Structures are given as C-alpha cells and as structure tokens.
C-alpha cells in the first residue's frame, strides 16, 4: 500500500469509526472512472467487474451532462411542482407490466424497502414479513431487522420469518418452485397464528445476495399463488437485477413471468447518484398515501430525476440490454470452458451481466472453497481485476460489471482468472 493510502486509511478509521468495511486486504484507493475502467491514485488501471452502481458506465457523458445541466438550473426539495418527477415516473412505469403504474421516489434501496413494508401494512393491516435466510435488503431499523447477513444481535423481531434460500447447486428433492412455495406457506401459517398476521413476502426475484441460483422461469408461480391466497402481497426487490442487467428483461420478476404487487428499486437507477424508488399499483399507492403521509425531502428532486431519466435513455439508445444479453452469454460460456480445466469451479451460473462461479474444494461433496476464493479475489485485484464473492457459503464469484462491458473485457477477465486459478494453489 502506498504511504498516501495508508495515511488515508488511518484518518478514515479515526474519523469514521471501526467496522467501516473496505474490499480487499489492501484497499483500492480510487480517483477516477470511465466506462468499465477505474484508476487508483497511483495511476494503476482496474477492470471494474463488480460495480452495478455506475450501471451505464462510469461517468457516462450523457448522464453527467443531464445531471450538471439540471444542477445549474434548479435543485430544490420536492414540494414544488416540477416536470422532472412526472416525466421520469411516466417513463419508468412504462417499463413495467400493468397494473404497476405508479411510482414513489426516494434516495436509497433501504428507504424503498422501508416504504414497501409500510405499503404491505397499509393494504393488509398486518405486519408479518417473510424473507429468505440469506439476505440483505438494507439498513433502516425496520429493514435491517430482515437481513440475516447483518450479524448484529440487536433489532431482531418476532414478526419476521425466514425461508431457506433457493440453492440450485444443492437442490431439494422434487420441484424446486413447489418446495419454495411450501416453505413460504408454512411460515405464513406461523405468522397467521401469531399476533402479527401475514403481510408480505419480500424477495429479490434473482436472489442475488443468496448467490443467484439458476432458477427456471416460472419458479415463483406457486409461491405467488400461496402469498395471494393468504391475502398477502409480494414485494420484489429489484435493487440488483433491475434496469436490464439480466439482458432478457428490464426487471428480474419479468423473467420469472410474475407481476409482483410492489417493486423496489435502487443502486443502478442514478448511475451513482442517490436515487431510488418504489413502483406499485394505483390501488396500493392510494392505500399507502392515505395511511402514511409520506414526504421525502430529496427523493425525486429535479437533479435526481434528470439523472435517472438520462440513465433510462442511455439503456435504450445504446441497446445496453442487448449488450448485457450478448456479452453476458459469451462470458458465461467462457467461464464454463474454464470449469473443464479447473476442478475448483463447481458450478457456473447467472444471466446477462450478472454471472459467476461457485468454487468448491471437492466437486463430489460440493464443499465450499470459502478460504480459497478470498485468495483468488485478492490476486485478481493485484492483477487489475475487481470483483467479489457472494452466496450462502460466500464461495461464489460475483461478476456484475456495468453494461458497457464488452467481449474484449470478458476475455481479459476470463484469461486473468484462468491464470490466477493456475497460480493460486487450493
Ligand atoms: N436491497 C438489496 C437486494 C441490496 O443488495 C441492497 C444493497 N446492497 C439494498 C436493498 C439496500 O440498498 P441501499 O444500500 O441503497 O440502501
């Protein structure tokens, strides 16, 4: 680590406090980004294969111009009339299937999920929530209580139930979709027997934090029916798969062929600018706005809306969903070829610009290579490739580049991974 990075880390610890995580044993000290590339303060260039926030490319000129033009014209709180939020909400909701045609804007994915929980309470009059047992949905008090990947002993609550995260590499006997629905049904019964009742199932339809298992379209059909039969709602957290990342569809739930009751959005929405949102039916929005008088000072301000609109325009004008489908399929194919050479690769999965491989110490027992993957990621970083790990056993390479990623970038990533898997001994 350079002396400048060392002193920055020390100042950061002193002024921000402990447990402020950084990736890598030797944190990367970035100063600039462009397209799929980022540079550290020492001039070293890295291929960013992880960062789904700069969704249409680091510092995309069209997004930067829209943001700065609006910042130079007007930015204000959100209690005045302004075209920006209406134009954006119309354009955004047009990407959803009926009857998902109203939107609420806020600033983070956590806030979006927090609002979704209140929508569930407003429409059902109940508070019980079901999530998977390996999930993260954000950091408000209500939402962090749902997150099993948050180790805190505080904030646990009796209105939350967990179902096993789907695992396509170690599948249950029988139909995986029916199995998941059965688990949800059992937890609904528990909640209905409690003082809380059942309000909602909250899931990422791509199950990103769970390690993005390979689930066929239709996997959630039985679950959707179970939720609705019980009078609850289904909330789809699209913070990770949304905005065309998976290539075939704009939204993860559309691949699954379901229409959730509430959808939450975040990270990629503003290409790095903090804007997030909730999309739902007019009826649910009406119930929510009647039950809770929601106001968000920054949510949907003119600069956020100009930025978010520019992101949608770039996705459309540059054909980035098609690029996600093409390049993602190519990269995944190359990763599958690597699996023939490196036995540590147990499973390759993902869709579009969200793919990866589960590393195992033994393909028969499927024992997770949890320590090994750390060394692989670290060495990739040393060789200029940024990515990370995820999944139930934290042994899945999480490769989630922005949508400007090309076949040449994929070749560089896979060739470097090939060398690292040869050089770093299990
Ligand atoms: N939902 C999911 C699925 C997430 O992965 C995250 C963040 N990693 C969030 C919600 C929270 O988003 P934010 O950090 O913008 O609050």
> What are the sequence ranges of the domains in the chain?
3-56+319-423, 61-317
pLDDT in tens, 311-357: 999 999 999 999 999 999 999 999 999 999 999 999 999 999 999 99
The percentage of the chain sitting over the pLDDT mark of 70, rounded to a whole number, equals 100
Question: What tens digit of pLDDT does each residue of 412-425 get?
Answer: 999 999 999 999 99
User: What average pLDDT does range 123-146 have in this prediction?
Assistant: 96
SS (H, E, C) the chain: CCHHHHHHHHHHHHHHCCCCCCCCCCCCCEEEEEECEEEECCCCEEEECCCCCCCCCECCHHHHHHHHHHHCCCCCCCCCCCHHHHHHHHHHHCCCCCCEEEEEEECCHHHHHHHHHHHHHHHHCCCEEEEECCCCCCCCHHHHCCCCCCCCCCCCCCCEEEECCCCCCCCCCCCHHHHHHHHHHHHHHHHHCCCCCEEEEEECCCCCCCCCCCCCCCCCHHHHHHHHHCCCEEEEECCCCCCCCCCCCCCHHHHHCCCCCEEEECHHHHECECCEEEEEEHHHHHHHHHHCCCCCCCCCCHHHHHHHHHHHHHHHHCCHHHHHHHHHHHHHHHHHHHHHHCCCEEEEEEECCEEEEEEEEECCCCEECHHHHHHHHHHHHHCCEECEEECCCCCEEEECCCCCCCHHHHHHHHHHHHHHHHHCCC
* More reliable by pLDDT, 173 or 152: 173
Q: What is the mean pLDDT of residues 136-140?
A: 95
Q: Is the minimum distance from the CB of 138 to ligand 1 under 6 angstroms? A: yes
Choosing among 3.10.129.10, 3.40.50.1970, 1.20.1600.10, 3.90.1150.10, the CATH entry for 3-56+319-423 is 3.90.1150.10
Confidence (pLDDT) at 53: 96
Res. 198: pLDDT tops 90:
yes
ipTM over 0.90: yes
In this prediction, residues 47-56 reach a mean pLDDT of 96
pLDDT at 246 over 90: yes
Distance 220 CA to ligand 1 centre (A): 21
Ligand 1: does its nearest atom lie under 6 Å from the Cβ of 304? Answer: no
Q: Do domains 3-56+319-423 and 61-317 have the same CATH topology?
A: no
Atom of ligand 1 nearest to the CA of 107: 15
Query: What pLDDT sits at residue 1?
Result: 84
The CATH number assigned to the domain with range 61-317 reads 3.40.640.10
pTM over 0.90: yes
Average pLDDT in the 157-171 region?
96
Distance in Å, CA 351 to ligand 1 centroid:
20
CA of 274, closest atom in ligand 1 = 15
Distance 148 CA to ligand 1 centre (A): 13
Mean pLDDT confidence for 292-312: 97
Q: Residue whose CA is closest, atom 12 of ligand 1?
A: 109
Percent of the chain having pLDDT more than 90?
Answer: 93
- Mean pLDDT across the chain, nearest whole number? 96
């Amino acid at each position: 680590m350079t002396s400048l990075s060392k002193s920055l880390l020390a100042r950061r610890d002193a002024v921000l406090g402990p447990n402020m995580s950084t990736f890598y044993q030797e944190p990367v000290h970035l100063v600039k980004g462009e397209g799929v590339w980022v540079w550290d303060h020492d001039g070293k260039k890295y291929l960013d294969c992880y960062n789904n926030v700069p969704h249409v490319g680091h510092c995309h000129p069209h997004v930067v111009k829209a943001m700065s033009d609006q910042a130079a014209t007007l930015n204000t709180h959100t209690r005045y009339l302004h075209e920006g939020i209406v134009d954006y909400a119309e354009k955004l909701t047009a990407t959803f299937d009926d009857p998902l045609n109203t939107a609420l804007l806020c600033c983070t994915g956590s806030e979006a999920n927090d609002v979704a929980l209140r929508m569930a309470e407003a429409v059902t009059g109940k508070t019980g929530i079901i999530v998977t047992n390996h999930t993260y949905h954000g950091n408000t008090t209500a939402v962090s209580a749902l997150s099993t990947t948050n180790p805190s002993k505080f904030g646990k609550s009796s209105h939350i139930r967990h179902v096993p995260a789907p695992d396509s590499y170690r599948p249950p006997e029988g139909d995986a979709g029916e199995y998941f629905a059965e688990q949800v049904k059992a937890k609904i019964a528990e909640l209905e027997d409690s003082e809380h009742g059942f309000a909602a199932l909250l899931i990422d339809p791509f199950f990103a934090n769970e390690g993005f298992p390979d689930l066929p379209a239709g996997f959630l059909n039985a679950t959707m029916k179970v939720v609705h039969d019980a009078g609850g709602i289904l909330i789809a957290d699209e913070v990770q798969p949304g905005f065309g990342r998976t290539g075939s569809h704009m939204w993860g739930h559309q691949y699954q062929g379901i229409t959730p009751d509430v959808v939450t959005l975040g990270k990629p929405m503003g290409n790095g600018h903090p804007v997030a949102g909730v999309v739902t039916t007019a009826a649910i929005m009406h119930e929510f706005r009647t039950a809770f008088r929601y106001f968000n000072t920054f949510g949907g301000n003119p600069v956020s809306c100009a930025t978010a609109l520019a992101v949608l325009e770039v996705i459309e004008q540059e054909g980035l969903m098609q690029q996600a489908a093409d390049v993602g399929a190519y990269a995944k194919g190359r990763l599958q070829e690597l699996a023939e050479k490196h036995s540590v690769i147990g499973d390759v999965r993902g869709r579009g610009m969200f793919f990866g491989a589960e590393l195992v110490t033994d393909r028969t027992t499927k024992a997770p290579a949890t320590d090994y993957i750390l060394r692989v990621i670290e060495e990739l970083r040393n060789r200029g490739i940024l990515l990370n790990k995820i999944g139930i056993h934290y042994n899945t390479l999480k490769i989630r580049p922005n949508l400007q990623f090309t076949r040449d970038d994929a070749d560089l990533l896979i060739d470097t991974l090939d060398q690292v898997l040869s050089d770093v001994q299990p």
